Amino acid sequence: MTIRQPIVSVLGHVDHGKTSLLDRIRTSSVAAKEAGGITQHIGATEVPLETIKTLCKGLLKEQQIKIPGLLFIDTPGHEAFTTLRRRGGSIADLAVLVVDVTEGFQPQTIESLTFLREFKVPFVVAANKIDKVRGWVRHAGTFAASYAKQNADTRGLLDNEIYELMGQLSTHSFASDRYDHIADFRATVAIVPVCAVSGEGVPELMAMLIGLAQQFLAQKLEIKSTIGAGSVLEIKEVKGLGTTIDTILYDGVARKGDFLIIGGETPLVTTVKGLLKPRALAEMRVERQFAPVDEVAAATGVKIVAPNLEGVIPGSPIRIVPHKVDVEAAVRELRKEVETVTFTSVNDGVLVKADTLGALEALIKILSSNSIAIRKAKVGAVTRTDVMEQRNVAEPYNKAIFAFNVAVGEDAADLKQDVQLFAGNVIYRLVEDYTAWTHTRREELKMAKLNDVVRPGKLKILPGCVFHASRPAIVGVEVLGGIIKPGYMLVKDARSVGRILQIQHEGANVAEAKRGERVAVSIEDATVGRQIDENDELYTMQSKENIKKLEELQALLTNDERNVLD
């Protein structure tokens, strides 16, 4: 069985050195060109094993290594990671989580870690920018050799930064240690100190990736089929070719003339008119000429030319089959795969929109792990229809839309006052904002319920403060506990004495009076000297049904309200 290269994705916070590290891996590999250099793919860089062996200079054990090399996704960050998906997870077999060793975890670090956990992708932490540690002197080559040349104080400072990273990983339930202190890589995340500028630690990083792939991923990396399977990275217009798709092929083979099936709500069936690879070694993110090829095999990045690609969405799964008889099975497979991600449920829940299938799948996984029910999940912008539908859900906490990396139409924005919109490009922030909103909303709803019940209240009619004896009685009172409001019935010795009509404070009507406040109240159906008198203590009337409601809302009552109720 043929073993392919593991696909490696590079993740991390902005400005922590993802792109610089990728560039250093390329330039270090090009410098080892006597062993074969690197091969440029569309959207990826292949570093063959012989080049890695030269770069690692004896770090790899002499055991027979079956892995033919490493295929690095050229676009760093979690956007590419989530875009490049396969059924049930990411097409990345391994990942490098880049962290500025002096800054530690930042929002996108946490976001990346969330994705790695949800998609169960093994990863290595590249503790980058070790040259920022006070006193560090750069030495090209291995980290071990450079570390040995640093003074004791500098080594101690770096060790402390590594311990900080270990602590931050621990808070996210990952055991970790510096790579050369680990006995069991299956249970412990390796931290490799590196400097993308000088290349320090890059040999150890490459050796770690090869070692992990060899030890734990060999079975996963077997090419199991001749049917091509991949994921769409980008859709691009190319002069003279029209719309093309940049694709990462993770299994099987693709040939010119094969049938191309692209997943969507209605899978697209078309024909491969051309397969293009970079003509010469060049920076992957700049324009260049392409060379046509007749066939490519996984794992690889390839530009596919085919008719009718205009509506294709990044992250769409693809299958490439040689015979027409295989097309229908591929269509069924992709339709089923997409339906597991994009769906509409009869159950109540939030609405989820994202820019790619992979991002949508990641968002669904994370929301589900936070026990957030989902009614509908789709790729694309938030529309007027989305808002209208979400207005009608029954559960108030589900009147919400998650919009990850997508636009919100103007007509939709105009309607969203009844629906809470959570938009952005950091998933865990969306979840945090939703959680905070539901907490606030829950308190608001409880307070609304509290406003629908008669609150516990106790008052005393002040001596010398009878302003009108009847029709209505108007007296000065002090609230001894709880709260009183217009409309509340009052009782004395368990008998009704009348209803509060108005409450005034310093000549102005007020909506309520609380403990310690002295106010004037008008009481309907009460006569001073008969039902009520000076120094009487009155209570707000509490029915059995009202008391039951108050007990359910007891957490919202003040202490003196609880005392009055008791």
pLDDT of residue 291: 81
Give the tens place of pLDDT for each residue, 347-395: 899 999 998 888 898 899 889 989 999 999 999 999 999 999 999 999 9
Give the tens place of pLDDT for each residue, 408-431: 887 777 766 789 999 998 888 899
Residue 535 predicted with pLDDT over 90: yes
pLDDT (average), residues 311-327: 93
pLDDT grade for 37, boundaries at 50, 70 and 90? low
User: Alpha-carbon distance 527 to 517, whole Å?
Assistant: 23
pLDDT of residue 427: 84
pLDDT (average), residues 116-142: 94
pLDDT grade for 76, boundaries at 50, 70 and 90? low
pLDDT (average), residues 479-500: 93
3-state secondary structure of 298: coil
Tell me the whole-structure pTM to 2 decimals.
0.74
- Sign of the Cα pseudo-torsion (201, 204, 208, 214, in order): positive
User: Alpha-carbon distance 436 to 430, whole Å?
Assistant: 10
How far, CA to CA in Å, does 57 sit from each of 90, 141, 207, 295, 474? 31, 9, 10, 34, 97
pLDDT of residue 34: 44
Q: Which phi-psi region, left, alpha or beta, contains residue 509 (left: φ > 0; alpha: ψ -120 to 50)?
A: beta
pLDDT of residue 38: 57
Q: Which residue has the higher pLDDT, 123 or 343?
A: 123
Which residues in 508-521 are b (16+ Cβ under 10 Å) and which e? Answer: eeeeebbbebebbb
pLDDT (average), residues 514-519: 94
pLDDT of residue 285: 43
pLDDT grade for 281, boundaries at 50, 70 and 90? very low
Is the separation of the CB atoms in 209 and 125 below 8 Å?
Answer: no
Q: Which residue has the higher pLDDT, 288 or 475?
A: 475
Q: Which residue has the higher pLDDT, 128 or 69?
A: 128
pLDDT grade for 57, boundaries at 50, 70 and 90? confident
Residue 533 predicted with pLDDT over 70: yes
On average, the pLDDT of the chain sits at: 89
Residue 27 predicted with pLDDT over 60: yes
pLDDT of residue 24: 85
Residue 540 predicted with pLDDT over 80: yes
Residue 288 predicted with pLDDT over 70: no
pLDDT grade for 175, boundaries at 50, 70 and 90? very high
pLDDT of residue 28: 64
Which range is most confident: 35-39, 52-56, 158-162, 264-268? 158-162
pLDDT of residue 1: 66
Residue 35 predicted with pLDDT over 50: no
pLDDT of residue 534: 94
How far from the centroid of its chain's Cα atoms is residue 495's Cα?
Answer: 59
pLDDT of residue 31: 55
Percentage, residues of the chain above pLDDT 70? 94
Residue 130 predicted with pLDDT over 60: yes
- Cα pseudo-dihedral 515, 521, 524, 526, rounded to 10: 80
pLDDT of residue 74: 74
Give the tens place of pLDDT for each residue, 448-462: 888 889 999 999 999
pLDDT of residue 280: 44
Q: Which domains does the chain have, with CATH numbers?
A: 7-216 (3.40.50.300), 228-336 (2.40.30.10), 343-439 (3.40.50.10050), 457-565 (2.40.30.10)
pLDDT of residue 422: 95
pLDDT (average), residues 166-171: 97
pLDDT grade for 283, boundaries at 50, 70 and 90? very low
Element at 463 (helix H, strand E)? strand 457-468
Percentage, residues of the chain above pLDDT 90? 58
- Cα pseudo-dihedral 222, 226, 232, 235, rounded to 10: 140
pLDDT (average), residues 230-259: 92
pLDDT grade for 107, boundaries at 50, 70 and 90? confident
